[in-house]
Structure 1
Amino acid sequence: MKKAAGAAALALLATACGAGTPEAAPTSTGGTFTYAIPADPGVLDPATGVLSVTNTVLSIAYDTLVRAGEDGGIVPGLAEKWDVKPDAVTFTLRKDVTCSDGSPVTPEDVAGTINHIADPDTKSPVYGVFVPVGMKAEAGDGTVTLSTPEPFGFILESARSIFIVCGKGVEDRSLLARGTSGSGPYVLSEAAPGDHYTFKVRRDYAWGSSGTGADLPEQVVLKVVPNEQTAANLLVAGTLNGAQFLGPDRARMESTPGIGQIVTPVGNGQFFYHQGDGRPGADPVVRKALTQALNLTELGGIASGGTGRPATGLVVEPRACPGDTVTGHVPAFDEAAAAAALDAAGWKPGPDGIRVKDGERLSLRLLYATTRGPGVQAAAEYMAAAWKKAGAEVKLNGVLDTKLSESLNVTQDWDAVWLPITVTLPSQLVGFLSGPAAPKGANFAHLDNDRYTELVTEANGTPGEEGCALWGQAESALFESADLVPVVGNTTLIATKNAAFRMAGGLFDPSSFRLTQGG
């Protein structure tokens, strides 16, 4: 498994699933659609895009071979049809697709995109996440075949997450740091990092699922607005056409007249224990006791601001494998049992109440992203208080999203981390939850769950319902050993004004952008 330099960025990998509803009939194809993004997307090369905000931005300019439909099913994208085998899928490409520089999109472009990510020299953090390990691509006459060394149950579904690079960007990847070279309906015309990204429409775009370039706004501006209160003010004033709300301003948007509302699931709020040598979390007794010391229902309400739902699995909806893998598999809240377990494991309370074993204090550094809103900050404080009551010394370490990956993978100075990883396929998690540990691999928490590894190995080659049952058992095995603890199923509000659009899995369907009355 390749090292994922941005493993923590998967906290935002999928920001929304759902469909927007027009507030009124579209008025014209001119004008500017403006949307708030919570952070700067960084480098825009699709081979490095693990931040959800990066992939949200990329979805405006790039197409994928297939897309997720509104019901979660697979619908055509660059490919008009496909033939699936257990270890390969052959896509027949549309013949009318062109890149933003006017060149045709070829099977060689598609194969080159996949093989570039899979090349060890690329060191792509999306290898093993979006592109399965060992996948290779071969161009044919109007077709491209993706194959894996062994049968892979999600070989078709994985293609919906791979942005295809074409045109000049194929030969010169340096153009992609602050530019785009894709076949999507918009092309990046201005990049002002930390402030805004402006895209200009391609009027020749004719292969969208929801319309052509002739139907779309002239420009799309993605404005970097880290503060949700600021985004709310801009939306009410009409400066923005859309923004996402996870914090307290969500209630304000829900009660403001003239604001369109899309409530969507966005995966779990959850935390991990660092299981590296010498860490308290290396001991399963300690992990389970610390989990039992937390009232996860109260914690979930705090983290989500009361807008969450019970967590039911690791993968964002709509899922390829539906079902509840959480209920009955997470150590239940029991303060007395937690204290007894720590006592039995040799962690005895010291004079100041902090537990000590072999001269070492039970000390935890709790890592979280400060940019995830006041709910996460409050959740971290709640966890610290509960663990202190259980006899642990807790130091809170709040960092920016952009520093979270460095803290997890490089300095590794943490013992527990609030990290809501949200992906679209369970196979995309394997490299983060098993295999080589950071910094040599993507396994940032140093997890080593034999049962999980055994089940996902079997599940990878088992398609259909039987494979889904194995994936579900694998997730439950993680929860039972408190390798990670799902706390709450988060939802988000995408608020709109004078515009309509659709999103799925955190990605825009940019062909659906419409300005409505007043836009």
Structure 2
Amino acid sequence: MVTRPVRTLGFGALALVLLTGCGAQATAGGGGDAGTPRVGGTLRLGISSNPDCVDPQQWGTNASLNVSRQLVDSLTDQDPADGAIKPWLAERWEVNADSTAFTFHLRDGATFSDGTPVDAAAVKASFDGARALGPKAALVAGYLAAYRGSTVVDPRTVRIDFTAPSAQFLQASSTMTLGVLAPAAYNKTPEQRCQGDGLIGSGPFVFESYKQNQQVVLVKRKGYNWGSPLWKHTGEAYLDRVEYRIVPEPGVRSGSLASGQLDAITDVQPVDEPQFAGNGFTEPVRPNPGIVFNLTANTTRGVLTDPKVRQAVAKGVNRQEVVDTVLTKNYKAATSVLGSATPLHTDLAGLLAYDPAGAGALLDAAGWRPGPDGIRVKDGQRLSAAVVFSAVFNQNQSALELIQQQLRKIGFDLRIELKTTAESTQIQLSGEYDFIWFNVTRADPDILRQTYSTKAGNRSKLTAGNPLDAALEKQAATTDRAVREPAAAEAQRIIVEQGYSIPVFELTQVWGLGPKAHALEFEASSRLRLYDAWVAE
């Protein structure tokens, strides 16, 4: 948001602590038949927030990752269409039987922008350096949670070992967060790399300048010729230069695109979408993979200790009304705790149907009776819980206010508590909440383990040894889809059936492209890929 930090943040700035998300609704590109791509030119791209740190290993907001994806290559790439992992810096790999050792065989000829080779020693230095960042690298902490270390087998072969099964790592190896930096990058401090100083990658663009809260400038990497097979051409990028203009105000950002001051923008708000549907403009759209915007319940607090109450809340939320009223047709009502663009997503729409009568029956059975103001009571206690959220996504408050109205109809009082991102993060870490509202972007179902396992984030405050833990551990233990898919499906079903999470809607990336901008692409995490992008004269 998130990602908006999940970006993908739905809920906070720490990517896996509060990140605030299998096919695209639309592909990115200019309108109509744009003709032959033009080499050269500058793309003026308006983004919604300051990319506080452009080092991909340290940060997790959309603004940051949309910059850093252009600077670093990864060992593998992920196909946005089906989630398949493809070669990139590694031309092939092997995974041992229990998914604790991954051996990558590197392609020949790739170099960093300082001229040094992308070899096994560089990969080891990069992964060791990322792991050493500790709290500065929330996403890395999840991807490399059980990291034992890397071994240089030979100059073009590196083995990465884990102390526990880590099937998710193969997908993690495709992310920009684990993009490979040159050994020389670690001669700079993390703070220096955040500002672009010493940020040396092997990607199709290189860093030129960064003015906080104003703009980031990248320029073409000369001689680049080792791109992903998922890309549309080979050789150097088309664009000579990319200027990320930081324009936080949505109306100003949209107005600048409409007037031609910008060639493209990210984060088109629902109210602004109609003006970019036609008239030479296009709106590339793709839902975020990962955990959808949801109310996650703390099962140890107040009325939410009762599963019937949580299940009633799930039945009392009219997801389609939220989408139709607060959002647009570009957004989807949730059909699971995982978004539809997530590999191994399971459609549980039947369990998430709007059913206020069913909600009332559950609450009646649990002993909750309507009070004088319509809110149910039991033993002198009101049927009430608070939700903590931050306004990282513009529509968060409007969505929650509508959900609040919907739940009053079943006699449930949802209290809405707006917090800053920093406050939200601290509340989540402390466990002092009833509901938390967030989303998390990741194109792998293991995000459920990182968020809900009692051995990881445990956002619902479950006790160890529960059935959800078993399903999450099973999906983490193998890359074999035949074993992993049913385990991931079981985990999703348990989370929804038990009301640990009340899924509501999928975060969607909506961009606006002017008549001159073409072929801006979504990668598998619905973030920006500019290698094939070009601008017309």
Shorter-chain TM-score tier: 0.7 to 0.9
Q: Residue 156 of structure 1 aligns to a residue in which SS?
A: helix
Determine which of 260, 277, 281 is the counterpart of 2:304: 281
- In the alignment, what sits opposite 2:496? 479
- In the alignment, what sits opposite 2:206? 187
Deviation at 1:110, TM superposition (A): 1.4
Contact 1:203 1:213 in 2 (8 A): no
- In the alignment, what sits opposite 1:41? 51
Once the two structures are superposed, residues 204-262 of structure 1 have per-residue CA deviations (whole angstroms, 9 ceiling, x without a partner) of 322224456744322212222333332222222222222232512112211x3111332
Q: Residue 82 of structure 1 aligns to a residue in which SS?
A: strand
- In the alignment, what sits opposite 1:388? 408
Q: TM (normalized to structure 2)?
A: 0.83
Alignment of 1:126-205 (within 5 A): 126-127=139-140, 129-131=142-144, 133-134=146-147, 136-141=149-154, 142-161=156-175, 162-174=178-190, 175-179=192-196, 180-205=199-224
- Structure 1 121/299 Cα, relative in aligned 2: closer, same or farther at 3 Å? closer
Contact 2:23 2:341 in 1 (8 A): no
Determine which of 14, 28, 48 is the counterpart of 1:20: 28
Using the aligned pairs only, state the percent identity: 24
Let me know the Cα RMSD of the aligned residues. 3.2
- Structure 1 403/305 Cα, relative in aligned 2: closer, same or farther at 3 Å? farther
Q: Residue 189 of structure 1 aligns to a residue in which SS?
A: strand
- Structure 1 480/427 Cα, relative in aligned 2: closer, same or farther at 3 Å? same
- Is 1:329 matched with 2:351? yes
Unaligned 5+ segments in structure 2 are 1-12
2:109 maps to a residue whose letter is: D
Contact 1:408 1:414 in 2 (8 A): yes
- Is 1:442 matched with 2:464? no
Unaligned 5+ segments in structure 1 are none
- Structure 1 247/479 Cα, relative in aligned 2: closer, same or farther at 3 Å? same
- In the alignment, what sits opposite 1:432? 451
- In the alignment, what sits opposite 2:366? 345
- In the alignment, what sits opposite 1:459? 475
Once the two structures are superposed, residues 366-425 of structure 1 have per-residue CA deviations (whole angstroms, 9 ceiling, x without a partner) of 233424234x3322111111223333443323345x447525434655432332323100
- In the alignment, what sits opposite 2:93? 82
- Structure 1 466/410 Cα, relative in aligned 2: closer, same or farther at 3 Å? closer
Once the two structures are superposed, residues 177-211 of structure 1 have per-residue CA deviations (whole angstroms, 9 ceiling, x without a partner) of 21122211222222223332222222232222445
1:381 maps to a residue whose letter is: E
Contact 2:131 2:144 in 1 (8 A): yes
Deviation at 1:298, TM superposition (A): 1.7
State the alpha-carbon separation in 2 of the partners of residues 301 and 405 from structure 1: 28
Q: Residue 248 of structure 1 aligns to a residue in which SS?
A: helix
Deviation at 1:484, TM superposition (A): 0.9
State the alpha-carbon separation in 2 of the partners of residues 361 and 143 from structure 1: 62
Q: Residue 512 of structure 2 aligns to a residue in which SS?
A: strand
- In the alignment, what sits opposite 2:399? 379
- Structure 1 222/515 Cα, relative in aligned 2: closer, same or farther at 3 Å? same
Once the two structures are superposed, residues 78-129 of structure 1 have per-residue CA deviations (whole angstroms, 9 ceiling, x without a partner) of 2222233332322122332222333323322212332344459556312453
Please identify, of 54-63 and 494-503, the stretch whose mean Cα deviation from structure 2 is larger: 494-503
- Structure 1 279/61 Cα, relative in aligned 2: closer, same or farther at 3 Å? farther
Q: Residue 419 of structure 1 aligns to a residue in which SS?
A: strand
Contact 1:10 1:423 in 2 (8 A): no
- Structure 1 343/193 Cα, relative in aligned 2: closer, same or farther at 3 Å? farther
- In the alignment, what sits opposite 1:230? 252
- In the alignment, what sits opposite 1:66? 76
Q: Residue 108 of structure 2 aligns to a residue in which SS?
A: coil
State the alpha-carbon separation in 2 of the partners of residues 52 and 349 from structure 1: 44
Q: Residue 283 of structure 2 aligns to a residue in which SS?
A: strand
Please identify, of 234-243 and 40-49, the stretch whose mean Cα deviation from structure 2 is larger: 40-49
Once the two structures are superposed, residues 63-88 of structure 1 have per-residue CA deviations (whole angstroms, 9 ceiling, x without a partner) of 11111235443332222222333323
- In the alignment, what sits opposite 2:42? 32
State the alpha-carbon separation in 2 of the partners of residues 79 and 35 from structure 1: 31
Contact 2:59 2:136 in 1 (8 A): no
Contact 1:368 1:380 in 2 (8 A): no
- Structure 1 41/18 Cα, relative in aligned 2: closer, same or farther at 3 Å? farther
Alignment of 1:315-326 (within 5 A): 315-316=338-339, 318-321=341-344, 324-326=346-348
State the alpha-carbon separation in 2 of the partners of residues 178 and 250 from structure 1: 33
Once the two structures are superposed, residues 16-41 of structure 1 have per-residue CA deviations (whole angstroms, 9 ceiling, x without a partner) of 78643355245654332122222223
Q: Residue 160 of structure 1 aligns to a residue in which SS?
A: coil
2:114 maps to a residue whose letter is: D
Deviation at 1:468, TM superposition (A): 0.8
Contact 2:215 2:244 in 1 (8 A): yes
- In the alignment, what sits opposite 1:307? 330
Q: Residue 36 of structure 1 aligns to a residue in which SS?
A: strand
Q: Residue 248 of structure 2 aligns to a residue in which SS?
A: coil
1:113 maps to a residue whose letter is: S
Contact 1:455 1:473 in 2 (8 A): yes
Alignment of 1:400-415 (within 5 A): 402-403=421-422, 405-406=424-425, 408-410=427-429, 414-415=433-434
Once the two structures are superposed, residues 152-174 of structure 1 have per-residue CA deviations (whole angstroms, 9 ceiling, x without a partner) of 44443331112212142223342
Q: Residue 377 of structure 1 aligns to a residue in which SS?
A: helix
Once the two structures are superposed, residues 349-371 of structure 1 have per-residue CA deviations (whole angstroms, 9 ceiling, x without a partner) of 44444444455443322233424
Determine which of 88, 91, 101 is the counterpart of 2:114: 101
State the alpha-carbon separation in 2 of the partners of residues 312 and 467 from structure 1: 20
- Structure 1 167/511 Cα, relative in aligned 2: closer, same or farther at 3 Å? farther
Q: Residue 329 of structure 1 aligns to a residue in which SS?
A: helix
Please identify, of 448-457 and 378-387, the stretch whose mean Cα deviation from structure 2 is larger: 448-457
1:426 maps to a residue whose letter is: P
Q: TM (normalized to structure 1)?
A: 0.86
